[in-house]
Amino acid sequence: MGGRSIYWPRGRVLGGCSSINGLVVVRGQREDYDGWAARGATGWSWQDVLPYFKKLEDNQPFAADPLHGTGGPVTISSIPRKHELIEAVKAAGRALGVPETDDFNGASQEGVGYFQLTTRNGMRVSAAKAYLAPARARPNLTIFTEAQARRVLFEGMRASGVELSIGGGIKTLKARRGVILSAGAVQSPQLLMLSGIGPAAHLQEHGIAVKLDSPGVGGNLQDHLQLRLLYRCTKPITTNDALNSLAGRLRMGLEYLLFRGGPLAIGINQGGLFTRVLPESQTPDIQFHIGTLSADMAGGKVHAHSGFTLSVCQLRPESTGTVRLGSADPLAPPKISANYLATETDRRCAVASLKFARELAATEPLRRYVAEEKLPGPGVTDDEGLLAFAREYGATIFHPAGTCRMGADDDRDAVLDARLRVRGVEGLWVADCSVMPAVT
């Protein structure tokens, strides 16, 4: 990636990244979870996890579907109105042989259509809103904010508490039954290493006493690499147009305040497309997020012109990176090496996905909305140029996983067993995306 530093935000807020993400609801594919089970994560096959997917959701649009659930704490909503650009993408996808779908979490993920969102009445439903808010009044729950965990404390080989920074000082919390880390794929391995659990040589390098030599901690980092193709649109129908005029901003604001509707109620990515671009793939290997706006970077200021984005990512990358300590200071940021595009398969997929995106944009009726390809641009024509573009402009799509992965008993690099217990110690669990054997 040319030695670039890449923006990797984290959700430093109640609810974590579910409070800042793009709202889109997409499960992994059946084959992903069956693959976990095959690698030693007993109890995590598709048939094992499906009941929990159903239990968590209140998905009224698919209430009659046996793959969905109702009455759960997380409201899943369908986008209430169609957008001209997304309809054009759907038609172009159909012309290329991609079936239309109204449910990417149905029997087959392959297709083109609208995403479902974690929203209720136009407002985000985060993990904090769904699970924490209803439990706030419980006498056995205390919530600390503006606090950062520093390390796990031990009595012998049993986790006995947590040390945290809060209010300019250090506080110790004692645990009677155990400690659960849910700090995410970056901070959970960092906390384990600060607590003396991790690759022994790396801990010793930072002067940390080794509690347990666990070589897999901080390894196996996987993420979806986002490649964004930017287009200038022929018609003033994009979110850029609304945001770049006072009248448009007022209209958007009023529509949201009065009706909880409009662009502010649905996020930036309304449409999606899943398909296969590698000949060896049996299931979709890439995903598109179709945004009705354009900007130089995700979350940045929109362009002055009418624009839209075709953002594509590889679903099952082979490349793995690491999370390592920057220092023994718990408040110092860790060192993240994503190691994108490290394998030939990942590089082939990046080039093939960009080619498919261009083919999509050149297919009617989407072609009539393309005034100009801004990125990669007409000067990028061959495979070498497309790969160079991926390395220069590729970025995270904010899905890091795998850095405290679970696995079989004889897998030395498996940090956890299939019940999410940290191997080699007692009373310590991890419960977040770091536990995934492979990103979905």
- Mean of per-residue pLDDT scores for the chain: 97
3-state secondary structure of 102: coil
Report, in angstroms and rounded to the nearest whole number, the Rg of the chain calculated over CA atoms.
Answer: 23
Distance (Å, rounded) from C-alpha 30 to C-alpha 149?
35
Q: Are 227 and 394 in contact (CB under 8 A)?
A: yes
pLDDT at 15: 95
Q: Which of the four pLDDT bands, split at 50, 70 and 90, describes residue 1?
A: confident
> C-alpha angle with apex 27: 407 to 6, nearest 5 degrees?
80
- The answer to whether the peptide bond before residue 365 is cis (omega within 30 degrees of 0) is yes
339-374 tens-digit pLDDT: 999 999 999 999 999 999 999 999 999 999 999 999
Please state, for a pLDDT cut of 70, what percent of the chain lies above it.
100
Distance (Å, rounded) from C-alpha 395 to C-alpha 227?
7
DSSP 47-61: HHHHHHHHHHEE-GG
DSSP-assigned letter for residue 401: B
pLDDT at 181: 98
Distance (Å, rounded) from C-alpha 21 to C-alpha 124?
10
Q: Is the pLDDT of residue 149 over 80?
A: yes
Please state, for a pLDDT cut of 90, what percent of the chain lies above it.
98
Q: Are 434 and 405 in contact (CB under 8 A)?
A: yes
DSSP-assigned letter for residue 70: S
Amino acid at 208: I
Q: Is the pLDDT of residue 402 over 80?
A: yes
- Main-chain phi, psi angles of 378, to 5 degrees: -65, -15
Average pLDDT over every residue of 200-207: 98
CA dihedral 258, 261, 267, 270 (to 10 degrees): -170
pLDDT at 304: 97
Average pLDDT over every residue of 207-220: 98
pLDDT at 423: 98
377-399 tens-digit pLDDT: 999 999 999 999 999 999 999 99
Architecture of domain 144-220+404-430: 3-Layer(bba) Sandwich (3.50)
* Nearest of 397, 373, 384 to residue 288 by alpha carbon: 397
**Domain ranges across the chain:** 76-123+227-399, 144-220+404-430
pLDDT at 177: 95
Q: How many CA atoms lie within 13 A of 388 on its CB side?
A: 8
Q: And the tokens for 402?
A: 């795998």
pLDDT at 298: 77
Q: And the tokens for 220?
A: 């196996």
* Nearest of 22, 168, 8, 41 to residue 435 by alpha carbon: 41
Confirm whether 83 is a catalytic residue. Answer: no
Q: Is the pLDDT of residue 439 over 90?
A: yes
Q: Is the pLDDT of residue 438 over 90?
A: yes
49-82 tens-digit pLDDT: 999 999 999 999 999 999 999 999 999 999 988 9
Strands (E), 217-344: 225-233, 269-275, 286-291, 307-314, 322-324, 335-337
Distance (Å, rounded) from C-alpha 320 to C-alpha 216?
12
Q: Which CATH class is domain 76-123+227-399?
A: alpha beta
Distance (Å, rounded) from C-alpha 91 to C-alpha 328?
54
Q: Is the pLDDT of residue 131 over 90?
A: yes
307-338 tens-digit pLDDT: 999 999 999 999 999 999 999 999 999 999 99
Q: Is the pLDDT of residue 231 over 80?
A: yes
User: What pairing do the DSSP bridges indicate for beta strands 123-124 and 147-155?
Assistant: unpaired
Q: Is the pLDDT of residue 2 over 90?
A: no
258-302 tens-digit pLDDT: 999 999 999 889 999 999 999 999 999 999 999 999 999 877 899
pLDDT at 300: 86
User: Do the first three CATH levels of 76-123+227-399 and 144-220+404-430 match, i.e. the same topology?
Assistant: no
Burial grade of 164 (CB within 10 A; 0-12, 13-18, 19 or more): middle
